[in-house]
Each structure stands twice: as structure tokens, then as C-alpha cells.
Amino acid sequence: MSDPLLSYTLEGTTAIVRMDDGKANALSSAMIAQLTSALERAEKEASAMILTGRPDRFCAGFDLKVMMSSPANAKALLIEGAELYMRLYGASVPLVIACTGHALAGGSLVLLTGDVRVGAQGAYRIGLNEVQIGLPVPVLAMELARDRITTTELGRATLEAKIYGPDEAAEVGYLDVAVPPDQVLARAKEEAARLGQLAKSAFVATKVRLRGKTIEHVRSSLAGDLATLLPG
């Protein structure tokens, strides 16, 4: 069994999942598997789930060591990550993100999957930097951004690889609100309690109507998109 890269606690009926790999909370295969298991557990026993990180670091995105090791390894990790994103985006339990710091590339996509996103104010960087480093934005990322980023900012957030601070990220759609760091978890708990009071069957059915087409499109287009991104 992999070493634990996150903790799971149940406070009342709210599941709190805290990523902490001791570094930047990269999305390795092990982290993805543990996040998926945590979500599955929360869907069974909680009324809402909070996903948070370690101080100053929320999530750095996909593990660069794996991504740079070979196209085959990169493709495998992206497939695992894409399914995690879609599971989070379509979760049957309300998902509150408590963003504790930097969230770039794949880390910013985690933010886009949340139902409510609370971020820590500070000198943190949030956004999709793919074009900036010479990579096209994958369909997966583009569709999540199209759903959540404000229409007037979508081009800057994707084509121009604009990176935002927390307050501006809340204005454009990566976050819903930015608060002082010592208030992030408390605010997330308030939001989780509020969402947890919604009728579950109505919440789930409405989420399917709201996000189902995006999830279906991402899953159906993934193989073709990865073949273009990572040929061979």
C-alpha cells in the first residue's frame, strides 16, 4: 500500500480531506488513487466534502517527474487524472475546495471542479500556464475552464496563460471568494454545512443536468486529444 499522501477526517457529517505529500501536493498516481478513494468514502458517509491542501500549497498539478519520463507514462497519468477530475466535478456529495496556496496547471483544474471554492489571500499563483511553457491547453482543461471561468476572461485564462492572484482569481471564476489564510477552513466548513442541507437527490439530479454534457464530452474526447498532445 502507498504511504498516505492525504488525511481523511469526518467532522459531524462533513468529510475533510487534506492533501499533504510534504512538498507541493503533486498529482502522482498514488495521490490520484487516494483522492478517488477519499471521494468514494465521502459519497457514502458524508453530507459534504472539503478538499484542502497544506499551508502555502494547494496542488501543483501533475507529477513532473512522471510527465517527463516518457510519453507513455505521461499519457497514463493524464488518463488517471482526467477521470479524477470528472469524478470530482460530478461528485454526488457537495464539494467545497479550501485552497491554501499555489494552484497551477492541473492544480487549478482541481479548483474548477468544486461546487464552492474558498481561497487564501496572499502572494499565491493560480491559473493554467500551459501555453506559457509551450503546451496546448488540453480539451479536459479547456472544457472545465469554459464552464467555470467568466466568458470575458476565458481567452486570457487559456490562450494567454494568464496567472492570477487569489482576489483576481475569485473575480474570474477560479475561486468564489478569497479570505485571510486563517479563515479559509472555517469558511469552507460554513459552506459545506450550507450545501449539506440541500436535498441530496435533487442536488445530484441537477448536477447531472448542469455538468453531465461536459463530463461526457471530456471522457469521449480524451483518447483522441491525448493522441494529439502526446503522439507515439
Taking only the tens place, the pLDDT of each residue in 53-86 is 999 999 999 999 999 899 999 999 999 999 999 9
**pLDDT tens track for 201-211:** 999 999 999 99
Name the grid cell of 90: 460530478
**pLDDT tens track for 128-138:** 999 999 989 99
Domains annotated for the chain, with CATH where assigned, are 6-196 (3.90.226.10)
Name the grid cell of 142: 479547456
**pLDDT tens track for 161-219:** 999 999 999 999 999 999 999 999 999 999 999 999 999 999 999 999 999 999 999 99
Residues 6+ positions from 12 with CB-CB distance below 8 Å: none
Residue type for position 15: A
Return the pLDDT at 1: 47
User: pTM of this prediction?
Assistant: 0.97
In whole angstroms, what is the distance from residue 182 CA to residue 22 CA?
20
